[in-house]
Amino acid sequence: MAFDYDLFVVGAGSGGLSAAKQAASYGARVAIAEQDLVGGTCAVRGCIPKKLMVYASRFPALFHNAAGYGWNAGQPSLDWEYFIAAVDQEVRRLSHLHSGYLNKTGVELIQHHATFLGPHTLEVGDRKVSAAKILIAVGGRPLKPDFPGMEYAITSDQMFHLPHQPQHLAIIGAGYIGVEFASIMNGLGTQVTQIIRQDQILRGFEADIQTRVQSGLTQHGVQILTNTLVKQVEPVPEGLKLILTGDEKEAITADVVLAATGRVPNVETLGLENAGVDVVHSSLEGPGYSAKGAIAVDEYSRTSQPNIFAVGDCTNRINLTPVAIGEGRAFADTEFGHHRRAMSYQNVPSAVFSTPEAATVGMSEALAREKFGDSVKCYRSQHRPLFHSLTGQDEQTLIKLVVDCQSERVLGAHMVGEQAAEIIQGMAIAINMGATKKDFDRTLGIHPTTAEEFVTLR
């Protein structure tokens, strides 16, 4: 049977783009369908615009801290409309670049929704197309909790398009998305109340990271209501009233309510049943998120249909942008590059761009002790960064190494503090190479830096 394409990709996010361009580089005839801006969650409504908001949120602290060094920064103010427009302009610029990259590599972009008609055929807009292989890379979407009044709440997608800066933002959720937006909006000058159903944020992360980030948020002015649930949201003349239960029962009123209670695979409208593609229900602990109705795949990203594959957040694996990119490239290498390989999920680094910032790679102390028992030893340091010796701020940086004493191998590295993500990225290389504590000890540090602490722990 002759097909229109060797590969048809559904979804032009991180995973889909990497797979499409890699497959095209091997000479495959490739098309990709995307009904939204090209770039996916990360570029359009996730990593990139969020990080721009993180940068903006840290200027007030810099203005304040400058006084400790003799600078007079005056009274700074934020032009919210200008800022939001600038972020949107950058998002659209990046999306245009991604479209250009597809064109340069010979990948046909079809800007319509795609629905399966069968294992080899799809309806894309008003067209029917066929492909020898099909890759699903549609990502995930925010999930709102199910209780009365949630139609008045927004999700993280809308946070980048708020026409006015909220005076008071209520956040429901303890995951990294809720934590990051709590930090961002607090830094920008909005009053923030974060409502979490347990006693700590960031479930699944290293315990020291949970504790230090939570105390840091509180220190910077975020109000965290622990062991508390939202029963109902209702509009009132002052804004939105949240009816609470649990440890905190007094209702609160906010301008905007952000539901940051998780994400789910975005697969409902694909017509997977027409192609015989199975889904699986799973719960993923850690920096990813729980996956309900995720597409079931094997180690080579193959679904229950031998010619249909899936990568990224629509599958039941770790949901991070670099993972999706790696999965997409591994798929293309295997299916079109004659280089069969599977994606490795060991020692995947991740970060939380909160204030204070956190990053981690490898095993947590709890997981290491569960696997290696009493042979695990932890090296830990907490100190005030040199920068704050003149600011007067009581900021603390935490660094931690988890080590297996029998092999002397470093199992995990964790950090809370400024530049945590940049520093842990380097630690990830060492841990993936199997570095031992002696390797760290033999390495000279760059003084004075925070990173040198990782090679001076004793």
Active site positions, annotated:
447
How many residues appear in the chain? 458
| Distance separating alpha carbons of residues 15 and 89, to the nearest angstrom | 23
Beta strands 256-259; 168-172: pairing state: parallel
What sign for the dihedral angle of Cα 61, 66, 67, 68?
A: positive
Q: How far is CA 46 from CA 39, 212, 316, in A?
A: 10, 24, 19
| Distance separating alpha carbons of residues 114 and 258, to the nearest angstrom | 30
For residue 64, the cross-strand partners are none
Cis peptide before 356 (omega within 30 of 0): yes
Cβ 80 vs Cβ 164: under 8 Å = yes
- Residue 436 DSSP one-character state: B
Straight-line distance from the first to the last Cα atom of the chain, in angstroms, rounded to the nearest whole number = 66
| Burial of 81 from C-beta contacts in 10 A (0-12 / 13-18 / 19+) | exposed
- Residue 32 DSSP one-character state: E
Record the tokens describing residue 266, joined without a space: 């975005």
Q: Which parts of 46-196 fold into alpha helices (H)?
A: 47-57, 59-66, 80-104, 176-187
For residue 378, the cross-strand partners are 402
| Distance separating alpha carbons of residues 136 and 399, to the nearest angstrom | 39
Which residues neighbour 374 within 8 Å (Cβ) at sequence distance 6 or greater?
none
Cβ 20 vs Cβ 336: under 8 Å = no
